[in-house]
Amino acid sequence: MADGLARSIMFVHAHPDDESIGTGATMAHYVATGARVTLVTCTLGEEGEIHVPELARLEAAQADQLGGYRLVELREACAALGVTDHRFLGGAGRYRDSGMMGTPANDHPRCFWRADLDEAAGYLIEVMKETRPQVLVTYDPNGFYGHPDHIQAHRVAMRAAELAGDAAPSKIYWTAMPLSVLKAGIEAFAESEHNPFEGITDVDQFPFGTPDEQIAASIDGSDYHDAKMAALRAHATQIPANSWLYSIAGNFGQEFMGVEHYTLARGERGPAKGPYGWEDDLFAGL
């Protein structure tokens, strides 16, 4: 890192709760190191399921008020992680949750899936010019598991990085889950009464998973496991109390929930001080 240049990292996520599930420990880790952590969320998550019965009428098909509620949940999650710089792409409500692939929500005129790519990238470039992130974190081309908003978040983030000129990040990472971690999870819960992987006996059954040799970085955020759990609990409409996430956290919390993995999509790989030759710092080499 050049002398006098503050560390700045940007995370681009599709919906409220994605940041906590996929990168919560990493975000809390970098906040604690003094880096500037910027979170950009692309939609309000209006099409999400609701796991709080008394709020069921907020769903899109009824009052259509879930997005406003999730905005507050996201604010509380960011507070738990220590993130103070959070933006919605183009402003809150600019883009609507597109729902799952092939649903009527994909046809809504404001849905993120239908957004003009360069226009959406332009909003992100504005944030890049302000925050000057050396590192950008988003999803892979399949949006990690195929959700249209995750795929579009990937496209927008990559397009913005392409067009941002001297404000573009030097390194871009995509969230990933090593196949070895998935395999270990299947084996660890095989005999458990509350098996979150019930019915899954092989890693090929997951809609995601990255060969270990393709992983570039592993961030050990075990010290921020409690912060990540608090952030997950903040998203109560989306993550029920009996969620598999809490099953994992309760039994194998620090190992499975406090460590997050990434592939390197752009930039040069830095010194590999972590296990398996993986970077243990997303700023490595800068």
CATH superfamily of 8-177+211-277: LmbE-like (3.40.50.10320)
pLDDT at 207: 74
Backbone angles phi, psi at 44, to 5 degrees: -90, -10
Neighbours of 76 (CB within 10 A): 16
pLDDT at 193: 61
Which residues of the chain are modeled with pLDDT < 50?
2-4
Q: How far apart are CA 108 and CA 94, in angstroms?
A: 13
pLDDT in tens, 103-148: 999 999 999 999 999 999 999 999 999 999 999 999 999 999 999 9
**217-251 burial: b if 16+ Cβ within 10 Å, else e:** bbbbbeebbebbbbbbbbbbbbbeeebbbbbbbee
Q: Which two tokens stand for residue 248?
A: 């994992």
pLDDT at 205: 76
pLDDT at 138: 98
pLDDT at 181: 83
Q: How far apart are CA 78 and CA 73, in angstroms?
A: 9
What's the predicted TM-score (pTM) here? Answer: 0.93
Between the alpha carbon of residue 262 and those of residues 22, 54, 253, 267, the distances in Å are 10, 38, 19, 13
Annotated domain spans of the chain: 8-177+211-277
pLDDT at 185: 74
